[in-house]
A and B are shown apart, each in its own frame.
Chain A
Amino acid sequence: MRQRAVTIGRLLLGGIARMLLIASLVGACSFLTIYRPVVRLMWEALAGVLVLVGAPTTTLAPIVWPLLYAYGHSMLVILGALLLAVCVGVPAGVLAGLRPNHLIGSTIRLLGSAGTLVPTFMMAMAVLVFFVLVVLPATGIRFVLLATNESAFDPRRMLPLVLTLAARPVAHIIAASADAVADVWHAPFMHVARSRGLGPTALIWRHALPHVALRVGAALPPALLFAIGSLPIVEFLFSWPGVGLELLRHIVDGRTTGLTGTTLVAALATSLAATYAAAAGLADALQRRIDPRLATEVQR
Chain B
Amino acid sequence: MNRMARRQAWLPLGGGAALVLPVLLAALWPALLTPIDPEQRGPAMQQIDGVWWAPPYPPSAAYWLGSDLAGRDQLSRLIHGAAPTLSLALSASALRLVVGIALGVVAVALGGTIGHAIAAAAEASAALPPLLFAFLIIVTVGAHAGAPLFIVALGLSGWAPWTHLVVSAVQRLAREPYLEAARAIGATRWSLARYYVTPALAPSAIPAAAQEFAAVLLLIAELGFLGVFLGIDTPLRLSDLLAGDQPNLPAPEWGGMLAGTRMAIFRQFWLPLAPAAIVLWTILGISLVAEGLRRRLTWVSH
Which A residues are closer than 8 A to B by beta carbons? Answer: 117-122, 125, 128-129, 132-133, 146, 148, 225, 228-229, 231-233, 236-237, 239, 244, 247-249, 251-253, 256, 265, 269, 272-274, 276-277
Contacts and interface: CB of A to CB of B under 8 A. Distances in A.
Contacts of A277: 123, 127
- Interface residues on chain B, size class: 35 or more
A252 B123 contact: no
Contacts of B272: 125
Given A231-B129, A233-B222, A253 B238 contact: yes
A119 B129 contact: no
7 contacts: A117-B284, A122-B280, A232-B132, A232-B135, A252-B236, A272-B132, A273-B128
Nearest to A273: B127
Contacts of B237: 252-253
A118 B132 CA distance: 20
Contacts of B226: 232-233, 236, 248
Contact of B221 (A119, A148, A244): A119
A120 B279 CA distance: 12
Nearest to B272: A125
B229 interface: no
B124 A273 contact: yes
Contact of B279 (A119, A247, A256): A119
Query: Chain B at the A interface: mostly helix, strand, loop or mixed?
Result: helix
B283 interface: yes
Contacts, number: 91
B265 A125 contact: yes
B205 interface: no
B262 interface: yes
Contacts of A129: 265-266
A146 B263 contact: yes
A269 B128 contact: yes
A137 B63 CA distance: 32
A247 B136 CA distance: 9
Contacts of A252: 139, 227, 236-238
A248 B238 contact: yes
Given A233-B222, A248-B135, 15 more contacts: A117-B284, A117-B287, A120-B222, A121-B258, A121-B276, A146-B263, A148-B239, A229-B131, A229-B132, A236-B262, A249-B238, A253-B238, A256-B140, A272-B128, A273-B128
A244 B132 contact: yes
B23 interface: no
Nearest to A270: B128
A118 B280 contact: yes
Given A129-B266, A237-B262, A119 B280 contact: yes
A233 B225 contact: yes
A-B CB proximity, top 8 nearest: A273-B127, A229-B129, A252-B238, A148-B242, A276-B127, A121-B225, A251-B139, A122-B276
A127 B239 CA distance: 22
B221 A251 contact: no
A119 B254 CA distance: 14
Most buried by B among A119, A256, A274: A119
B275 to A, nearest CB: 10
A225 B123 CA distance: 12
